[in-house]
Structure formats: C-alpha cells, structure tokens
Amino acid sequence: LRAKSTESAIAWHKMLYKASNRLTYQELFAWNFANQVRFSIFFIAMIVTNVVPLFFKPLNSSLSPTYPEYMVIPKQITQKDLVDGKDFRFLQRWPAVVWKCRETRAVLLRSSQPRLSIFGWRNNADEKFFELVLVLGKDMLIMDARSYAAAWANRAKGGGFEHPEYYQRTRVDWLALPNIHNVRYSFHQLRALLCSNQNRTGESYLSALESTGWLNYIKDLMNAARKCVDTLFDGQSVLVHCSDGWDRTTQIVSLAKLMGDEYYRTIQGFEGLIRLEWVAFGHKFADRNGIAGTNNNEQSPIFLQFLDAVHQMQHQLPTAFEFNRQYLVRCFVLCNDRLCFLLFVRAVRKFYEDLFF
C-alpha cells in the first residue's frame, strides 16, 4: 500500500498503531527505561551536601527548551528566580550545576554568555545564583572559552561577560579557544593532508601536520580542562561558558569530568557523560555533523575534536580507561545517526511524540 500524502500516511499509522497495541507509548519498556536513564545520570553526577545545598528540580520546557528535563540548582533558587533569570542568558541557558568535587565540594557549572550588551544590563536572579554556589569563602572562577576581544565584540550583539562589579568574588579567565569556523577550517586542512600521498614519516609531513593547527587546538582544549579540574580540587567553584554554551563549553566540561572522576572513564560513565553533557544539554549534532539542512557555515567537527582529546588521554593512560580507541571510533559513527542522538533532545523528542502518537 502507498499513501497519497505524508498526512495520509501519518493518519493511517496512528489508526493501525491504536488498533494493534492497547498500550500507550509511554507504557512501553523502551520509553520507561529511557526516562529512568535520563533521571539517574543526575544522581550519579551529584550528591546533595550541606556546603552547597542543591536539589533536583523538574523543569518546564518553556524555561529552556535546550536544557534537560531535570536540573541541579541551589535550594534557595525559586521558580520565580528561574523565570526572572532565564532570558538574561543567551538561548535561556542559565548556570546549571553538572558536577561536584567529592574532596572539596566545589561545583562545576555551565551556561551561555550573559546579556549585558553595551548598556551593562544586570539581573538580580542571575547574580543570586552565583552568590549561592560560592564555597567556603573562596572566589569563583569563570572560564570564558572566548578571547577578551571576542567577548567585547559580542556586547554589540547583546551579549558580553560577567562584570566584576555585579558578580562579587568572581574572576574571569579568557581561554581564547577557536570557534566552530576555525575548527572546521583546521579539520579540512587535516583531512586534505591525510588524504594526500605525502610520506607520513618525514619532517615535511610533521611540519604540515603542525601547520593545520589541529593538534594545537587539542592541546589548548585539554589545558583548559586541566585548569578547570585543578581549580575545583583547590576548592573553588567553576563556571564554564562560551557564546551559546553548547560547543566549547560542552567540550571543556566533559573533559574536566573525565579527568576529575574515574566513573566517567568507564563505558557506562562515558555513555552517561555524552547523554547528559552533549545530548541533554542540546549540542547541535544535526547542524555540526551536516545531517540536517545544507548550511555549511554551521558544520564543524566539535564532537570529533572532543573524541580526539579523549583519545589522547586514553593513549597516554590506557589503564585509566575501560574503553579503547575502537570504542571512540564507534561513538563517532553513531553520532551521525540522527535517531540515536537527536531524539534525546527534549524539544525534538516532543515534536516526534506529538507527530506520530
């Protein structure tokens, strides 16, 4: 049988599904199991403490459509605070607690850039969040993945960075990591070099490899993650953000958790790490991998760059990881499967649920 149109096919699908299965899709094992997994990854990453009182809170998708269904936030943050502060950060991606150092109780947070603009706007709810996560009198480190010049340029577009007068006891560290366009250009050069017939043992090849900038970018990324971990183990909480908070931010936070917590170096932990930091927090797999649309300007191998950094760590310390290089290659292959990765994003999953069920 062939339907006359897409609308007709969807209508027939709904009727046949209802006739053949009395269970709702929410009652199926796969959906129930997925809900348990999405919720459990937060308990693995966080233990509630008296030093920084935190709690798990289910979120309405209107607060941040690119954030997970559950968040870890300070107890004193109310629903009104979330509503008042959500628009102050780009794409409504306010600071979210994603990991806690077991030794010092310092917490790792991620967000997007604030909307200070050239007028120096401020937000009481956003500043309140910062005050509540400061630990034992120590200052907080804000790791901005952009350069100082790039952050200033973003103020003309309504963005900016945390002003020291507004955010007491904080300091900003400018990482100057490459944006998606620089990473894409570097990868194109690397791919062209690897596909060439050039001898891979001579000095000219090593010089050409260095000129691509790919390994330097990996080094800078790993150094940023190392500094993040060292700061957390020193007892200072750390906030990581770039512009939108879903590319460089995700890379740094993920690598920092790998370095600081042996659980994430297991297969189960690594899968949970990807599920939370990359998928649930809305990394644009479709755009970055070129799966959806034809906008080449949005394509960039951000996830591949992260996997390469993990490979460098695993190559140097193989016994510290439960997986090997072949496992990382498999992860990259699967990230191009839109169903494996895209349907974990809440807004996209909700769209398909409404469409087919």
Contacts of 148 (CB under 8 A, 6+ apart): 174, 176
Q: Identify whether 41 is part of a domain.
A: yes
Is 248 annotated in some ligand binding site?
yes
Is 243 annotated in some ligand binding site?
yes
Active site includes 101? no
Q: Identify whether 297 is part of a domain.
A: yes
Q: Identify whether 1 is part of a domain.
A: no
Distance separating alpha carbons of residues 301 and 283, to the nearest angstrom: 12
Q: Identify whether 330 is part of a domain.
A: yes
Helix, strand, coil: what percent of the chain each, to 5? 55, 10, 35
> Which residue bears the tokens 């794409």?
91
| Distances 90 to 54, 93, 245, 345 between C-alpha atoms, Å | 24, 6, 8, 18
Residue 76's pLDDT is what? 84
CATH of the domain at 17: 3.90.190.10
Q: Residue 96 belongs to what H/E stretch? A: strand 96-100
Is 154 annotated in some ligand binding site?
yes
Residue 49's pLDDT is what? 47
Residue 294's pLDDT is what? 62
Is 179 annotated in some ligand binding site?
yes
Is 197 annotated in some ligand binding site?
no
Q: Identify whether 222 is part of a domain.
A: yes
Is 155 annotated in some ligand binding site?
yes
Is 244 annotated in some ligand binding site?
yes
* Closest C-alpha to 324, from 334, 335, 313: 313
Are the C-beta atoms of residues 44 and 56 closer than 8 Å to each other? no
pTM: 0.84
Identify the active-site residue in 228, 242, 331, 335. Answer: 242
Distance separating alpha carbons of residues 95 and 89, to the nearest angstrom: 9
Domain count, the chain: 1
Q: Identify whether 329 is part of a domain.
A: yes
Q: Identify whether 274 is part of a domain.
A: yes
State the 10-residue block means of pLDDT for the chain, 357 residues long.
78 76 57 56 51 60 80 83 88 90 90 83 89 79 96 88 89 96 97 88 88 97 98 95 95 97 93 88 88 80 97 96 94 74 55 53
Q: Identify whether 249 is part of a domain.
A: yes
Distance separating alpha carbons of residues 273 and 267, to the nearest angstrom: 10
DSSP 274: I
Residue 292's pLDDT is what? 66
Residue 337's pLDDT is what? 67
Structural domain boundaries enclosing 242: 6-356
Is 247 annotated in some ligand binding site?
yes
Distance separating alpha carbons of residues 284 and 237, to the nearest angstrom: 27
